[in-house]
Amino acid sequence: MTITRRLLGAGLLGAPAIAAARNAHAQAAWPSRAVRIVVPYTPGGVSDITARLIAEPLAAAWGQPVPVENRAGADGVIGTEVVARSPADGYTLGLVSVGHPVNAAFYRLPFDTMRDFTFVTQTTSTPLVLCAAPAFAPNTPAELAEYAKRNPGVTFAGTGGVVRLAPVLFAQRAGVTLEYVPYRGSTQAHPDLIGGRVNIMFDTVPAALPHIQSGALKALATTGAQRSPQLPNVPTMAESFLPGFEASTWGMIIAPANLPAPVLAKLNTDIRAALQNPTVVDRHKTLGAAIVSNSPEEMRAFTQAEMEKWGAAARAAGIQQQ
């Protein structure tokens, strides 16, 4: 064997080791500057609160600032596109909600919901509650279905996203027809719901809870996998009427596509640790949100399943992409 061949062989054999060393160095060096979290919604919501709560323990763990940047607009599309178009270096993250997969049913998006992102971990899950004014006759989901069959024209308040599609999914599975009444937000819908001008609403537990506690609204069911700690005496939709029915709002951390594996692994580990910080856990309890974390692979599969579920519901209801 010539010297050239021996050197070439040594170089080829050493290539994997060199690549591994470079990846290890990248992991060890990251982060070397601020890591921003883009929240594509206005301040004050669960996604925004979660981002700001985890930013503190993450900054302490990384020794770098973790600023939170609100880039609201177009139901989260504007801020999410910022993440999609950012370099895949781990210095731009996004904290998005269930609106990320749901938006694919409503809009022609400037990015691909699955292909253009790295999925890091889920952060929270918040169930919805099916509620109505006390004077509305049905007191359970089964009674609602029977009432809707006998009384055409039952209306539901919707504000977009999963709050818009949850009653659509209920109607499809219960074999009834419900009429959609659009609202810009829960604050605008609640007076009409309380006054009986619209019959029902699938709202988030935190938004509806004060009215339920005051007696202005009644809860027929919640829509999580388990009963809501805030409404422990209210059965879930799955246990009371429609097995397998689940409709929750949730949050997750995303990054641009093709994030280096060492950076993704560190992000997943450190963010999941930050989510277990006692301050983070306790604050989310007051919001009616449960902390949930998982692997990147689990998060990607869950997002794909949510996109398929809500997309099918939207298509069956005749909702067209805008």
Q: Which CATH number fits domain 34-126+248-316: 3.40.190.150, 3.20.20.70, 3.10.20.30, 3.10.105.10?
A: 3.40.190.150
Query: Would you state the pLDDT for residue 17?
Result: 52
pLDDT tens column, 159-176:
889 999 999 999 999 999
Alpha carbon of 135 to those of 61, 199, 233: distances in Å?
Answer: 53, 10, 20
Domain residue spans in the chain?
A: 34-126+248-316, 127-240
Mean pLDDT for the chain overall: 92
Alpha carbon of 29 to those of 19, 32, 210: distances in Å?
Answer: 15, 6, 47
Q: Which residues pair with 39 in a beta bridge?
A: 70
Is residue 2 predicted with pLDDT exceeding 60? Answer: no
Is residue 39 predicted with pLDDT exceeding 50? Answer: yes
Is residue 51 predicted with pLDDT exceeding 80? Answer: yes
Fold of 127-240: D-Maltodextrin-Binding Protein; domain 2 (3.40.190)
Query: Would you state the pLDDT for residue 24?
Result: 52
Helix (H, G, I), strand (E, B), or coil: what is residue 200?
Answer: strand
Record the pTM.
0.86
Domains 34-126+248-316 and 127-240 agree in fold: yes
* Residue range 230-248: mean pLDDT, rounded: 96
Query: Would you state the pLDDT for residue 253?
Result: 98
User: 1: pLDDT confidence band, cut at 50, 70 and 90?
Assistant: very low
From the CB of residue 50, how many other CB atoms can be counted at a distance below 10 Å?
A: 28
